[in-house]
């Protein structure tokens, strides 16, 4: 935090969901008030290829599907950062691969106590509802303040 009590860096995980968009809007307002840099982080989920993905794609390989996940994550992060930049906010995008909660928590630690602004629900499936949401894990395990947007 700066001397004025504002954060220098705001980390916003984005996945293209409506709640991630609302989190991005909240981060934009906070950054405008504080002059903080916003980092939009998108995580390409590193999981096995689902049978339905293989059936839907025909002859596309597992590597192609994983590459497509990375490309989509990059597009989401870039679009979010550009929207912030267009609003006059200092922003940059980042993409990582892995478990979303773990990646968000690790990146927040690397940034040395940013503010994480995250949507309550993202584009996760039924399994995530049972096992616990990404935002819930981030709230419990991050070493910095986390603002959850509904």
Q: What is the pTM of this model?
A: 0.85
Q: What is the per-residue pLDDT for 58?
A: 61
Q: Tokens 């996940």 appear where? A: 69
Q: What is the per-residue pLDDT for 124?
A: 54
pLDDT tens digits, 63-119: 888 899 999 999 999 999 999 999 999 999 999 999 999 999 999 999 976 899 999
Question: What residues contact 9, with CB distance under 8 A and at least 6 apart?
Answer: 36, 37, 38, 39, 111, 114, 115
8 Å CB contact between 6 and 37: no
pLDDT tens digits, 109-144: 999 768 999 998 765 544 444 445 899 999 999 999
Rounded Cα gap, residues 99 and 6, in angstroms = 29
Phi/psi at 47 (5° precision): -140, 165
């Amino acid at each position: 935090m700066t001397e004025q009590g504002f954060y220098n860096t705001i980390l916003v995980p984005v996945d293209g969901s409506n709640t991630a968009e609302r989190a991005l809007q909240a981060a934009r307002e906070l950054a405008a008030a504080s002059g903080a840099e916003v980092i939009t982080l998108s995580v390409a989920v590193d999981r096995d290829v689902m049978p339905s993905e293989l059936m839907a794609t025909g002859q596309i390989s597992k590597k192609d599907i994983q590459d497509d996940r990375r490309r989509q994550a990059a597009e989401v992060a870039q679009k979010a950062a550009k929207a912030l930049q267009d609003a006059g906010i200092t922003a940059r995008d980042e993409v990582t691969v892995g478990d979303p909660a773990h990646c968000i928590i690790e990146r927040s630690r690397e940034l040395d106590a940013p503010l994480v602004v995250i949507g309550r629900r993202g584009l996760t499936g039924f399994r995530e509802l049972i096992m616990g949401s990404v935002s819930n894990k981030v709230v419990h395990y991050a070493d910095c303040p986390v603002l959850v947007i509904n």
